[in-house]
Structure 1
Amino acid sequence: MGRARPSMQELIQRRRNAGFVGRRRELDAFRDNFGLPPEDARHRFVFHVRGHAGVGKTWLTRRLEQTARQEYGALTARIDETASSVPEAMAAISEQFARQGRELAAFDRRLATYRQRRHEAESAPAEGERQGPSAGSMAAARAGLAGLGLVPGVGALAGAVDPVPLAESTDRLRAALSSRFRDHKDVQLVLDPVETLSPLLVRELSEAAAAVPWLVLLFDTYERLGPLLDPWLRTLLTSERLGVLPANTVLVLAGQTRLDPGCWGDLADVVAELPLEPFTDAEARQLLTAKGITDEPVVREVLRLSGRLPVLVSTLAENPGTGGDLGDPSATAVDRFLKWERDPVRRSAALAGALPRRLNEDVFRAAVDDDGAVLFDWLRSLPFIGDRDGAARYHDVVRAPMLRLQRTTSPQRWSAAHTRLAETFAGWREAAAGGLDPHDGWRLDAWSGPRLEEWYHLLCARPSAALPGALRDGIGACDAGPAVARRWATTLVEAGEDADSDAVRTWGWHLVEALTDERRRGIDAMGLLLARGGLDATARVAALVVRGWHRRSVEEFDGALGDFHRAIELDPGNVRAHFGRAVVHRATGEFTAAMDALDRVDALEPGSTWVQRERGETCRRAGRYEEALARLDPVIEADPADHVALGSRGQTKMALGRIQEALADLDRAIERHGDYTWALLRRARVRSTLGDTAGALEDLDRVEALEPGIPGTLGERGDVHRFAGHYEEAIAEYDRALALDPGYAWALGSRAMANEALGRRAAALADLERAVALNPGYAWAVAQRERLLSSGD
């Protein structure tokens, strides 16, 4: 696309620098595609690199990225299995684009908000209750979930997921949209990050694509990423629901297995398959020649031992010895990798270094039980050691037989080595935590990272003995959020494979399946543990409480109450369970029951100010405003910086008509917590009531900057314009909100009032009819419809 063609000398140098051998057909197909405009029917939008471990998929993927960037001016991003969710994959794309000088600033701000809101939502009850899910967004999420075929209930999840409450919660969410939507924006982003982050990412990708010839997104180890990313990528390719992907985007998927035909089967015309086989004899010989290996007996033996797998050809080519070394018919797979390393210390270190999943110098020293700085530098130079996320990793083709050899040759030495590594990681975990409670530790990377490695090594050392503890500890991982939970489940899978334990491996795969849908959080994983995990009473309480809070977050209120009740039967003093009951009762309008539950919390934690704040908030939602003030005032006196209490009191004063006092409280809340969107939205309403239209819109501008594309914010903007008499501007904002969420009944009702003010009675009636059809219990809309009908001609 307008770029000068490289010279012959430049091409030769590039090949030398890259150690270019083989895969010319695949590289040529990739290059040729850039010569075809996206409108050409021969152009392919997706390349699928496929082949067995060791065949060179990662090498080729990196080569494709280098080619796209250096030869065609593409912006590129390469994602691998370290991305354990769609938001993490999106974050990796943004981070890598930024390193190439193209920041996705708006997306990054929204991502930061998501991470903060998620942390806040997961911190209850210690920091008090956060806002619940948006009914509109969750109903849309349910519909999208079903459409993508991700609703669980089969396979390993059969019996652990009850489809009845799932369906009931969907109906209840849609019915409750107008009455609860406006009060639950703070965690909408947390509950449905893919739906809310993706349009913003796609928009900024389109802006980036306008400034460069191509965007190339590469997904390595796709056999692991596929179950997470398939529905998202398919939606981006085939639907405009998440935005319009720029046409000059090319995807590369590299994995061991074929693409899922259920997801990709009808996209064969846009996917170019690049199946990789071992090197041809000529390609392998070319690589050996480039390494200076031309002695025919040595060449033949390298070809025999390697099976012409690129990673093994490269490994054996590093130090092939002479023909006299060759011909040992009993050579093991490990001998192939270390056949010509004569130093027994180095050989031992290479085997020990295979035990950890990832290596840095500290981990390597613990593995070799020695001062291994010099040996680590040597190890990093070996061709089967690669870098990923700043850590050294053995190639799977090399590591697997090394582990198998050590496990089968000396089970006792195997167990002792893994136990020593587990103890090392435990020490690092304890040092990083500084006495942090494990419940909070899972939310801290410096704690959870060593904890997962600790469990990996314990499971390798003694699978049967360690499995119950690993399952119990996973309750805390699930409580910390889907990304942490998936890393925990994947740890079980990998430990089961490496220790050859069917029990550990099977549990791991079942849990991975249970955690596939981020919006279900840990609900289904906890169902598996409660049904089949052999939990003791303490662990059952913990699992019930975690599942109860996650069910509350997706508004499965009956199920949440059931979990909390069962937890309290087992442990009457469990504060989180009692507080969970209070939160659920308050969300369903059962305010007396909510206050009773808070009484129990207060008895268990007497004098806690956060409990009094929750009492005040419960009174506010019940419409008992004077009582709410009486409870919130002492909380704020005790802690003037409690922005949640200030916001609640400000809203209470607004309801009492004490507008200026409400404004003062909301000002203080926002001063103490600048991105407190709940308070910004409410201050916008206060300012609008006071006639300060500009100030109200300024607050809503700040909300949109923090959380772009939220339908409720656009609805609030519409109200500000409507109350100011700017009816056309109001309708434009309601239209934008409804484009994002067609089921937003409250926006339809408000748009009806703007249309009526402009004399558009038929349009107003149509909006009210739609609002009532969406939510038959929307009493205000029913009354307005009857009023318009009764006043008709």
Structure 2
Amino acid sequence: MTTRFEHRRSHSALASLLSIVLVLATYGVGCRDDTPLEQIRSMHANKQFADSVEPLRELVSQNPDDPELNYLYGIALLRTGSPDMAIWSIRKAAESPEWAQRAGLALGNAAVSSQEWDNAVAIANTLLDKNPDDAEALLIRANAQLEQRADYESVLADFERVIELRPDDFSALVSRVATLIALGRIEDAAEGIADLEESMGSGGVSQARRSQICTIRAMFAGERDLHDEAKTLFETCLSSFPRSSTVTEQYVQYLDDQRRPDEANEVLRQSLETAPNDSWLRLSLARRLDTAKRFDESEAVLRAGITLPNRRAASDSWAGLADHYVAMQDLDSAAEAFEQSLDLVAEPTAFQTLSLADILARAGRNERALDVSKQLDNDAFRGLIEARVHLNMDEPAKALERLDEVLPLWPNNPGARYWAARAAEQLGDFGRAIEEYRQSIRSAPGFSDAELRLGRLHEAEGAIDDAWSAISRYLDDHPNNPEMAALSMRLATREGKPARLRNVISELSGRAVWGAAVAERADLLAEAGNLQDAIDTIREGSALDLTRPRNADALRALVRHLVTLGQAEEALAAAGSALTAAPDHPAFSEIQATALAATGRGEEARAEFERALELDPTNARALVGLGRILAEAGELDAGLDAFERASAIDAGLDESYESAAQLLIAAGRASEAEARWAALLKEHPYHVDAAIALARARLARGDGGERTLELARRAVRFRGGPAAGRLLADVHSARGDEARAKEILERIEADAAQS
């Protein structure tokens, strides 16, 4: 059983590259080897799991319903570091009564290795319903719930039951102490640590176990707020066990909990110097630096890895570099880096080939993505890539048709369901889109932004209760997601229920996302015409320190509303105070530039926007601001290029599309403006202004066809008000249905009279 101290290292470095694949159904590809089942069993008995993968792949392709073959194949994949791929085969084996228990345990372990905690708990519960004393199932459930940091009493009960059944189970003994620490049961934890330390004196204790006991002692000191002692103990552990992943991971976690991320990074750097071929250390450090937008440092760490003579470590570093470029929204470079990673792999797996095709499709390199997908023997794998390419080429009907061929083979694939929803949205089939989003969420909660998109879609329809249902689970699992915080604040405000609003404020206040929530609340007040209330909400009603980088969203909203109220100099002073406190924070530099532009200091604003982009090339808002400055200075094409770059970095930033479309219309470039509105509607299918603009443009050139009608109906569905209703009437009139047009206009007049 993989413990909470061990599983993280098995998590793939390629996770952020995979926008299609989560749970891979494994079909026949690979070599033609007639290795009989007995030889496969012998390979597994001798732990030759890697050697058995290709022979098993072929056997499973020939006998897809054989439970033992599926079980062995899943185990081989699990033991060779592909838990995501293993799940489908093991689940298939679990359908057989004879293999249900063995496969169920393997499935639970695969879920733990993939960090699918809810799934692991559900699998363990099914096994425990049949046998409450299944020690392995108890460990799966307890470790998964321990990672979720929930219901520690139940977790403790599971570990103690395992110890009753297997008194010498070391992993259960260690995890029991960790749970006691989490519960704050200091004396019991101290006793448990003493027992573990006593076991070391008996001899025969491995280095791995010694490192875990050492780590537990350090964690225990930290839990008692003896932070100097905890740090000393962790340093001692690190010195005694320099290659222990347990020590490094827990020390980093401890420092993060103490809000000392730079020290945590230094621990990873030191460990990496000791073990330069350790890919987990290198990739973990690089990801942390990327998250902090220290992109140059991250790239240096990864480039040091690609020069290593160890091919596996170099390949992993190239894959990490691909992740790095994804974080920077440089998808072309990401695809090139991932290709370099696979060049160092003797025989890339179908999963790796699919991953490469996926990142190529994401980069818009459609022909290359299709060429790579041809290397995949499985038609369902190819179908995923082909569907993605169809979406890139604005062919949602073809994408959905291809996915309809994939989904019967892969009904629970969350990525396939997600892209089916996106295709249905583009076609205006919102009933299908809603169902596909729901199925994607059921298959793998939190896999994508499906919860967020579904919540926004329901909100746009005015279905507030459905929106809450869509996002509630995600809110619990991702308490510091700023987009979700803003959406929950918006829903609570628009719902008009004071109790709900109070609950949301209570939940969000004090969190890192509180600034984003306050900004959303202020924006809603401003939309209602209460500008001063919006400003007061940020300044007086939020208890936010606007000079802290985490509150940049609130500061940005304050500056915007002060400018609208005619208080640009006051806005500039607020932005300046923040920038003085954190002079190298890119968001503050971008907000300062916005305030400078509002006071008519265009050259200074341009310089500040450019500085913000030097600090963070992925700041899409800075690109939008720079684009406006350039356009106002007569550099229209340069401004449009900045807007294009902004939307490539942050596809959800409406301003980048809207600003470009408006400038293009003013310049008489109507067809280009229409393309920008279409791109906005592709990302936000419920954007009423985009739907109306596109429908009006089509009507103006005499096109009253089905697409024009769908756009007008879409604008009405998403509460576009009288403007949307009049548009729909005009479309019906253009189609020769004057009676329907008259009926709609009469309804608009009646509604106006009632209001």
TM over 0.5: no
Q: TM-score, normalised by structure 1?
A: 0.35
Looking at both structures, which has the greater relative contact order when contacts are Cα pairs under 8 Å and sequence separation is at least 6?
A: 1
Q: TM-score, normalised by structure 2?
A: 0.37
User: Which structure is larger by alpha-carbon Rg, 1 or 2?
Assistant: 1
Q: Determine which structure has the larger strand proportion and give its number.
A: 1
